[in-house]
Chains A and B, each alone.
Chain A
Amino acid sequence: MTDQTMVSLSPLELDALTELVNLGVGNAAVGLREMVKEEVLLSVPKVAILTRQQAIENLGEGAVKRLVAVHQNFDGDIRGRALLMFPEAQSMELVRAVVGGDLSLDDLIELEQEALAETGNILLNGCLSTLANSFGRTLRVSLPEVVHGDGSEFFNLTSWPRADDGVLFIYINFALRRGDIQGYLAMLLDLPSLVTLKELLASYIVSIGGATTTSATNAS
């Protein structure tokens, strides 16, 4: 999944990153549990570093065109953009799980923005703050914003100057009572941020004992 021209992570670094993401999602799940009406189980089956183009292609797979995303910018030692994305058709199920099944369709539609914003907010915050805390750094994260569109729109938003950036692409599963929803958590990082991430991962690995063999596990 990695590309030769961009910063690549060693298997060890990728393992460490996966563990941190799992930790973050796990933290987020605690917050989520307080808010949602129905049980939502989260799991992270896969983490990868992709080019923007690869990320767009990944999102285009399975003929899912329309996506809904919760978007937050972050700034600090690493800077970039975090997106939590779902196929638009399935997002309603997540909303229904968050607000409870006894609301009318009109109510659901009205609450969709808020529900997605808060859910995404909790997840993205959980991941970002876990990463920041683990690296001992501070980030400034913007308020969430809900956007509808497709992958290429999300990854080609203006104010993103460089083409050689990378995407930390995290597959995330929402297990709902009525069936699973496949979501994606993407962090677009510029090259310096990727380099910093690699350095931070390396020092994190050292800080926790030099070597780990952890793999992705269910964090919820």
Chain B
Amino acid sequence: MQASDALGATAVLDAIDGGVIVIDDAERVAGWNRWMEVASGFAEAQVLGRTLAEIFAGVDLKRLPAAIRAALGSGGSAIITHALNPALLPLQTRSQRPLFHDITVSPAGSAQASRCLVFISDVTMATKRERFLRLRQNARYDAVVARAADVILTVDDAGVVQFINAAGVSQFGYPETELLGRAAVEMFQTRDAWIANWRSALEGSPFSQPVELIAQRKDGSASYLEASASRWSSGTRTFVTVILRDINQRRATDAALRELNQTLEERVQQRTAQLMKAEETLRQSQKMEAIGNLTGGIAHDFNNLLHIIGANLHLLKRDVAGNEPAQLRVQRALDGVARSAKLSSQLLAFARQQPLDPRVIHVEGFIRDMDDMLRKAVGDGITIDMVLDAGLWNTLVDPGNVENALLNLAINARDAMEGRGRLKIEASNVNLDADYARANPEVMPGQYVLLAVTDTGTGMTAEVLQQAFDPFFTTKPDGRGTGLGLSMVYGFVKQSGGHIKIDSIVGQGTCIRIYLPRSLQAEDHLVEVDATPVAGGSEMVLVAEDDDSVRDAVVAMFNDLGYRVLKARDAQSALTIIESGMPIDLLFTDVVMPGPLQSTELARKARERMPHLAVLFTSGYSQNALAPGGRLAAEVELLSKPYSREALARKVRHVLTSAAERRSRA
């Protein structure tokens, strides 16, 4: 440095470990120390009198010229850092490496001769160390933070986002530049929770356990996050770094699990209810079965006894002919027998053990024929509406029982309406599908003819409904109901392969629906058997009956009617008689008898030997002996016990006539 000096300033400046450039008031270099010569590669002689822009031609000097002008013009000082202006001047270290430097510009000299001092300090070491540290730190940092699946968010003490990692950018849906500098609270729906937790972390109490926050994404959607946070400081600044874990998946899984649990409970409840219903249905059907067996058994024995009583009374009536008081008493006793017989037949009906005589009928015409009878039964105070669909299917039922059932229901309805109201009788075709059958386990899916009888009466409570079909259960005052009406209807419908259902609302009325199975056969023509006159005959009758009293009574009746009679105490004996070759016109046999041979088998074998033999069964009940389900095959003739002399006479005549017709056709 050649600046004029007597004080040895040149030597001093050259000794400084830093660049010193003196600039004169024309912005030209007036001094250039040794350090500058080495770092720039320009000797002082090369640069004196030139501006920095001339010396470093082609180099962007940025603020430096302006700073020099300010120093010269108004005494300003400036600092130009390497950090913000890296490698501003093309300087090199002694080993020809880039030399990082800070520059300060200060006014120097006096008011007369303005000067400016540019000082350049070497920050290479510090910069390299920083750079090395940063690279090392960044490598670790990147590994942990940039690739983290969790959101890592750093917020300053004003709550402003200063850093967010890649996971955060994708979580919130904003570009990074929109997130940085944003108030973090704006990124959450749970603002209060965010503020409370951020503050608590800022004050040095990190979250004791993860806190759940709801973020608001750029698209407005919510996202559930679990936050943990801690604070850290850099110099005077304090930051809170928050780790946000996406728990949407976990929440969704939890919710699904919860829902599954809930529906599981529901399903268990549903199944339990179904089970309870099924159990109740089973209990009910077991009860009906048990009562049915009991009543059926009693009625059967009772019928045999009645038959003995009735048959003997008939005979006695003839014996006392001419004795009018005696005849009157016998007649009263016979009336009693008739009423008793009715009662036991009702019991059998309920027990599904009555002998049915099913015919293929078309209920529409059948019901219309009942119109008069029904109106008489219910009385004037009750209007009857008949709604009978056209094109009803045929059904195979015992017509007498259908009539009985409708009559019973109409009478029940009348009583429930206390003589005033509206009775609706409907008939329609219905399909009971598998779903309905599942809900009503006793129902077979299929096609049915529905008869519905609806009243506007008092209705039934649930308790009454439970017992409605029980025999002898009645809600009517003493003496007005037998408690057998609905029981009979129930037994008959069940025995006919049908289904019965009661719907009732207390105070509004009751609807009873009877579903009778559809028959694909053509309608039978009903024959009024009872209309044939009472007539005897002289044919040979073989009576097979195990009960001595019954046998004696029936033999007496046959004799009385003019028939010739052979007797057997069981089926085997009867067969022996038939095989002996005796000419026999009619086999009259009890259905159920002790012994190895069943009566049906007896009838079959007898017919083998005598194809034109007439067969008439008699029974207290049918059970399954004659046909499965207790329904008679069309060709089987049955006379139910107890029977009157007239009934016996008509039936026997009818059977013999039919046999004679078959014989003449053959």
Contacts and interface: CB of A to CB of B under 8 A. Distances in A.
A42 interface: no
Which among A104, A109, A143 has the greatest number of chain B C-beta atoms within 10 A? Answer: A104
Interface in B68-102: 70, 73-81, 83-85
Given A31-B63, A109-B235, A125 B76 contact: yes
A198 to B, nearest CB: 20
Interface string A81-114: 0000001111011001011010011111111001
A53 B239 CA distance: 32
Contacts of A89: 156-158, 160
Interface in B149-168: 154, 156-158, 160, 162-163
Contacts of B74: 128-130, 132-133, 138-139, 141
A17 interface: no
Interface stretch (B174-182, B426-434, B442-450, B486-494): B174-182
A122 interface: yes
Interface size class of A (residues with CB under 8 A): 35 or more
A121 B75 contact: no
Contacts of B630: none
Contact of B75 (A92, A96, A141): A141
A140 B81 contact: no
B162 A98 contact: no
Interface string B106-119: 11000100000000
A169 B471 CA distance: 110
Interface size class of B (residues with CB under 8 A): 35 or more
A133 B158 contact: no
A34 B63 contact: yes
B403 to A, nearest CB: 96
B84 A105 contact: no
Given A101-B177, A128-B74, A139-B74, A106 B134 contact: yes
A105 B154 contact: yes
B135 to A, nearest CB: 12
Contacts of B79: 117-118, 121, 143-144
Contact of B76 (A88, A115, A141): A141
A34 B130 contact: no
Nearest to A149: B236
A72 B162 CA distance: 29
Contacts of A76: 75
Nearest to A134: B74
Interface in A51-77: 66, 72, 74, 76
Nearest to A111: B83
A81 B67 CA distance: 20
A142 interface: yes
Contacts of B156: 89, 92
B62 A96 contact: no
Which among B70, B137, B182, B236 has the greatest number of chain A C-beta atoms within 10 A? Answer: B70
B89 to A, nearest CB: 16
A108 B180 CA distance: 12
Contact of A35 (B84, B104, B163, B235): B84
B84 A114 contact: yes
Contacts of A98: 84
A162 interface: no
Contacts of B84: 35, 98-99, 111, 114-115, 118
Nearest to A145: B79
Contact of B181 (A96, A121, A122): A96
15 contacts: A72-B77, A92-B156, A93-B181, A105-B239, A114-B84, A115-B84, A118-B81, A122-B63, A125-B78, A129-B76, A132-B74, A141-B74, A141-B107, A143-B79, A143-B104
Q: Which 7 A-B pairs have the closest CB atoms?
A: A89-B158, A129-B74, A105-B163, A125-B76, A132-B74, A178-B181, A114-B83
Interface of A: 31, 34-35, 66, 72, 74, 76, 87-90, 92-93, 96, 98-99, 101, 104-111, 114-115, 117-118, 121-122, 125, 128-130, 132-133, 138-144, 148, 178-179
Given A105-B162, A118-B79, A132-B75, 10 more contacts: A31-B63, A92-B237, A93-B181, A101-B180, A109-B234, A117-B79, A118-B80, A121-B79, A129-B75, A130-B74
